[in-house]
Amino acid sequence: MFGKYRIAILGALALAAVPAMAAPVTPSSQAQSRALILVPLTLTKIDDLRFGTVVPSSLSGMVSINASTGARTIAGGVTGVPSDVGQRAYFGGAGTGNQQVIITYVQPTELTSTTNSADKIPVLALTLDGSPIRTINPVTRTFFFGMGGIIMINADQAEGLYEANFDVTANYQ
């Protein structure tokens, strides 16, 4: 019986003699991990359409996001902020290989300020990155598409965050 206690005490002493380890440090930035799971006959939004940050002037202008590349183009009296260039909307779906899907959407007429609902930005167009008729990949049984758009920034547009929702539908044939 004495031997068992003696081993336990020696083990405790050995643990107590271990030098103290440095305290864990919280990382200064976080990483994100993601997995996309596509269920057959569904449509999943991967990314929102964002026009980025712009600075208006006394002249009106336009901001465009390319549906294929996500690149932003600015015209007229608008200056783009390089640190927030926006992005295209991106969607994915799944179904039977070689099945055709028709993509439809309802374009909002305007973006509305989140702080003053009287402030609006006209939406001139939403665009797809190709034909609205897609064929589901026979190997992966998936399809993907991007959406861009064009908005009109009015002269002396009030500052703020502007947003609107739009509906996108995948009609499986």
Q: Is 99 exposed, middle or buried (0-12, 13-18, 19+ CB in 10 A)?
A: middle
The pLDDT tens digits for 105-154 are 999 999 999 999 999 999 999 999 999 999 999 999 999 999 999 999 99
User: 11 vs 168, which has greater pLDDT?
Assistant: 168
Average pLDDT value for residue range 25-54: 82
Sequence-distant (≥ 6) Cβ neighbours of residue 91 within 8 angstroms: 43, 44, 45, 46, 144, 145, 146, 147, 168, 170
Whole-number pLDDT of residue 24: 54
Residue 157: pLDDT band (50, 70, 90) is very high
Residue 26: pLDDT band (50, 70, 90) is low
Token representation of residue 32: 């994100």
How many residues are present in the chain? Answer: 173
**Which residue shows structure tokens 């908005």?**
151
Task: Name the strand (E) or helix (H) holding 7.
Answer: helix 2-16
Token representation of residue 167: 């509906």
CA–CA separation, 83 and 73 (whole Å): 14
Residue 91: pLDDT band (50, 70, 90) is very high
Token representation of residue 71: 């690149």
